């Protein structure tokens, strides 16, 4: 008997979940639930759209697809991403020689390495910094930072492409719509 495996759907479902959450946080019922949890854990005002949410979504959109079905041969995706110029949303502090030839593809590769190895920081101001190192403790070959506002734009625009990347490698049942993340 075959075991169902929905791993291929994780990027799409994570993206759709983020869109549902964006809509839900605006409702009175959600706010009631949030107040209940704040009281239960003794929290002050709590936002569920926070760095943990952002990094979790980024993990599902950048790390999971690479492991499942994105390959270096994903040229269609790389061309689509190149047209979006996601690198312009980041302050690029350090890049390697290969970056300028394919900035969008290289950005995704470096972000994937950074998130997969938890080599990033999030400032109290919401600024995210990503590092990609050849080995832990070695000087990073890539350093980039992004504001929360730009990260939301990155996830909304590029996230949709990444969530739907499976469709580029084989037919998908229901592509994820664009979301405000």
34 in any annotated domain = yes
User: What number of residues does the chain have?
Assistant: 181
Number of domains in the chain: 1
177 in any annotated domain = no
79 in any annotated domain = yes
Whether this prediction's pTM lies above 0.85 is answered by no
Contact between 90 and 150 (Cβ < 8 Å): yes
Distances (CA, A) of 107 to 2, 103, 146: 37, 6, 12
152: its two tokens:
């939301």
180 in any annotated domain = no
Contact between 54 and 128 (Cβ < 8 Å): yes
Domain that holds residue 80: 7-169
Distances (CA, A) of 74 to 56, 66, 166, 167: 23, 10, 10, 11
161 in any annotated domain = yes
181 in any annotated domain = no
1 in any annotated domain = no
- Express each pLDDT in 112-128 by its tens digit: 999 999 999 999 998 99
SS3 content of the chain, % helix, strand, coil (to 5): 55, 10, 35
58 in any annotated domain = yes
Contact between 134 and 141 (Cβ < 8 Å): yes
Site of tokens 């929360």: 148
- Express each pLDDT in 32-43 by its tens digit: 999 999 999 999
- Express each pLDDT in 44-96 by its tens digit: 889 998 999 999 999 998 888 776 555 655 777 888 889 999 999 999 999 98
């Amino acid at each position: 008997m075959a075991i169902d495996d929905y791993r291929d759907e994780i990027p799409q479902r994570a993206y759709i979940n983020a869109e549902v959450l964006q809509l839900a946080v605006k409702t009175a019922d959600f706010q009631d639930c949030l107040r209940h949890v704040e009281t239960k854990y003794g929290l002050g005002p709590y936002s569920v759209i926070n760095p943990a949410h952002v990094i979790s979504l980024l993990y599902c959109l950048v790390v999971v697809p690479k492991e499942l079905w994105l390959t270096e041969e994903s040229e269609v995706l790389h061309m689509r991403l190149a047209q979006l110029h996601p690198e312009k949303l980041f302050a690029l502090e350090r890049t390697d020689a290969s970056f300028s030839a394919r900035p969008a593809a290289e950005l995704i590769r470096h972000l994937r390495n950074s998130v997969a190895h938890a080599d990033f920081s999030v400032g109290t101001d919401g600024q995210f910094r990503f590092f990609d190192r050849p080995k832990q403790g070695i000087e990073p070959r890539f350093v980039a930072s992004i504001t929360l506002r730009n990260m939301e734009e990155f996830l909304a625009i590029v996230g949709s492409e990444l969530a739907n990347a499976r469709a580029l490698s084989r037919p998908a049942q229901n592509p994820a719509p664009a979301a405000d993340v």
